[in-house]
Structure 1
Amino acid sequence: MEGTSLYLPIVILLMQCSPSSPVTVSSNRHKVEVREFSDAVLSCMFHTERDQNPRIEWKKKGKGVSFVYFDGQFKGPFEGRASIEGATVTLQRVTQDDAGEYRCEISAPLDSVNLGETNVTLKVLVPPHTPSCEIPSGAVTGSVVQLRCRDQQSIPPATYSWYKDGQQISPPRHTNATYLINARIGILEFKSVAKEDTGRYSCLASNGVGPPKMCEGKRMTIEDVNVSAVVAAVVVVCLVILICGCGGYLLHRNGFFSRHRGRSNVNYIPPPQESTDFKHTQSFML
């Protein structure tokens, strides 16, 4: 008992002489991901050395730095749709405009280190929207055909899968397949389409945030090339060109395209003619 009472003054003296911790600021979630139109909690915790009433500020980084919370009030677009508890802020019904990097600043003028800060990044997730699909209505066998699908609004970006007549088209398993699927950019490409590729095609966009969305299906018809008709058309065109060329040559040879042909001699005055009959215009006296 006497030993304990002997050490107690020493412990108290050491506690008084030990330095206090300056202002410190931290967050238990530096990256926050929430769905669009839900609430986002941006945590900020602090500890001060002496100052019991530090100044709390929140700022949002962008092209510049704008105030979110300053002088005990929310500012700009956050006014009326945000709350604060301690230094932790809750943003209500966030949109894409709210996404970005935020900074919590604690200013304690009475502390030896009078400023501390921590950053929190907010990412607003957007479920898929109905993608836009480009599906040709027809093509000829043997040609290269691309079907395109795109959703510009989903965050994170959507991945895509293709369907034919309601059945999902499996990604090709070997390099010599007749088609390719790029799930990241939404392209279904046929290297050489065949008649059996005729069908109703649609595309499904998904990103794991909300329910997937599918575009309206569209029928693509593949037709065979009519070789006989193509050959006949080429022959007819060649004959027409040959006949026109021969006709033009003959007309040119016969002077039909002469530079002076068809000109009218409007200003031409014929020379005077001498009279063949001699007539007396005066009487002579013999």
Structure 2
Amino acid sequence: MAFGRQTLSLVLFYWLCNSAAFAVILRTTEKSVWANEFESIELTCLIESISTNNPRIEWKKIKNGVPSYVYFQNKISGDLEHRALLREPANLLILNASRSDTAQYRCEVAAIDDQKPFDEILISLAVRVKPVIPRCSVPDAVNVGSSTELRCIENEGFPQSQYQWFKNSEELPEDPKTSSKFYNSSYIMNIETGSLKFRSVKKEDAGEYYCQARNEAGWSKCIRQSMEVYDLDIVGIFLKVLGGVAAFIFVIVGICQIQKSGYCSCKDHRETNYKVPQHENRMEYTTPDEGHFRHKSSFVI
């Protein structure tokens, strides 16, 4: 009985070994890969077990759910042509990676002489793109106590950039309350949108500002821009308002003088008065027989 069990175990072990020996088995060192733009990246497709000589190897790129060949019939094709090569045993080396290479890649190996003749591995590739120079907006001058906003944006970086503001070459902390130097400042920084808002500007907020956009691929910054802070000029505002009122009064007085001088007629020409012409040599004909009846020359029969 014990002999029969040993025999069965040996047979089962032999069958498992043969099954593994005649099956295509693939593995990869990393299923999710990152690469920087313009650099090289290798997607690994390692053949752990195979019996067939010269198996068929193919690589496909899957983007937006649509597959396309990048290695087919022993040559690189598609948008990786002249930018990639196959390395032993079945690794795909992409040269000069671009943002368009971000996709899923599938390594497929077919071996007709193996009991398990096919295996595949799916690898995700994401190409990081360095941010371009961001567009920065800094006001030239603001008044003490007023609110203002500095803006910074760029749309080319991948993953999405985060933003950091600098004043006079010194990095501003995201929360001013964490720094003794900027404790009294009223700004609010949003590192996701690049906004730097001042709720109430102070004299010490004046200086040179610039913004830096950064992600895992690198960083870029805009040029320095100066922001000046002025005290509110109450006297100047009053004089400007007074000057405006005086100019308005001067215009009104000028119009009245023109009307009085007769250069402007305000009467409508349609209101001309017409008088009935008077006849100087009117003749009246009256006889005693006519009594009180008068016959005038203007009477018409």
TM range (shorter): 0.7 to 0.9
Map Cα deviations across residues 169-224 of structure 1 (whole Å, 9 max, x no partner): 333126985112223332222111122222111223333544x4332111111122
Partner of 1:3: none
Counterparts of 2:265 and 2:143, CA distance in 1: 46
Q: 1:274 to 1:110 in 2, by over 3 A?
A: farther
Partner amino acid for 2:56?
R
Counterparts of 2:232 and 2:43, CA distance in 1: 64
Partner of 2:289: none
Q: 1:225 to 1:17 in 2, by over 3 A?
A: closer
Counterparts of 1:15 and 1:198, CA distance in 2: 80
What is the deviation of 1:264? 7.3
Contact 1:142 1:193 in 2 (8 A): yes
| Corresponding residue SS for 2:132 | coil
Map Cα deviations across residues 218-267 of structure 1 (whole Å, 9 max, x no partner): 111112222233234445656748x96xx99xx9xxxx998x723377xx
What is the deviation of 1:76? 1.9
What is the deviation of 1:57? 1.3
Counterparts of 2:276 and 2:140, CA distance in 1: 78
Q: State which of 187, 202, 212 in structure 1 corresponds to 2:195.
A: 187
Counterparts of 1:177 and 1:277, CA distance in 2: 101
Counterparts of 1:132 and 1:67, CA distance in 2: 39
Partner of 1:197: 205
Unaligned runs of 5+ in 2: 284-301
Q: State which of 206, 215, 226 in structure 1 corresponds to 2:214.
A: 206
Counterparts of 2:166 and 2:277, CA distance in 1: 96
What is the deviation of 1:111? 4.3
Contact 2:56 2:111 in 1 (8 A): yes
What is the deviation of 1:105? 1.7
Partner of 1:167: 170
Matches within 5 A, 1:121-140: 121-140=124-143
Name which of structure 1's ranges 107-116 and 212-221 shifts more when overlaid on structure 2: 107-116
Matches within 5 A, 1:57-136: 57-63=58-64, 64-84=66-86, 85-136=88-139
Partner of 2:28: 27
Partner of 2:155: 152
Matches within 5 A, 1:245-256: none
| Corresponding residue SS for 2:173 | coil
What is the deviation of 1:16? 5.4
Counterparts of 2:110 and 2:230, CA distance in 1: 75
What is the deviation of 1:43? 0.6
Q: 1:272 to 1:261 in 2, by over 3 A?
A: closer
Matched, 1:225 2:232: yes
Q: State which of 269, 274, 291 in structure 2 corresponds to 1:262.
A: 269
What is the deviation of 1:112? 4.6
Partner of 2:299: none
| Corresponding residue SS for 1:20 | helix
Counterparts of 1:14 and 1:31, CA distance in 2: 37
Contact 1:148 1:188 in 2 (8 A): yes
What is the Cα-based RMSD across aligned positions, in Å?
Answer: 3.8
Partner of 1:276: 281
Partner amino acid for 1:94?
A
Partner of 1:38: 39
**Stretches (4+) displaced over 6 A:** 7-12, 268-275
| Corresponding residue SS for 1:229 | helix
Counterparts of 1:77 and 1:40, CA distance in 2: 16
Counterparts of 2:46 and 2:96, CA distance in 1: 23
| Corresponding residue SS for 1:263 | helix
Unaligned runs of 5+ in 1: 1-6, 279-286
Contact 2:185 2:205 in 1 (8 A): no
Partner of 1:283: none
Partner amino acid for 1:136?
P
What is the deviation of 1:162? 2.2
Identical-residue share of aligned pairs (%): 29
The TM-score with structure 1 as length reference comes to 0.74
What is the deviation of 1:276? 3.2
Partner amino acid for 1:133?
C
Task: Count residues in correspondence.
Answer: 262
Contact 1:130 1:214 in 2 (8 A): yes
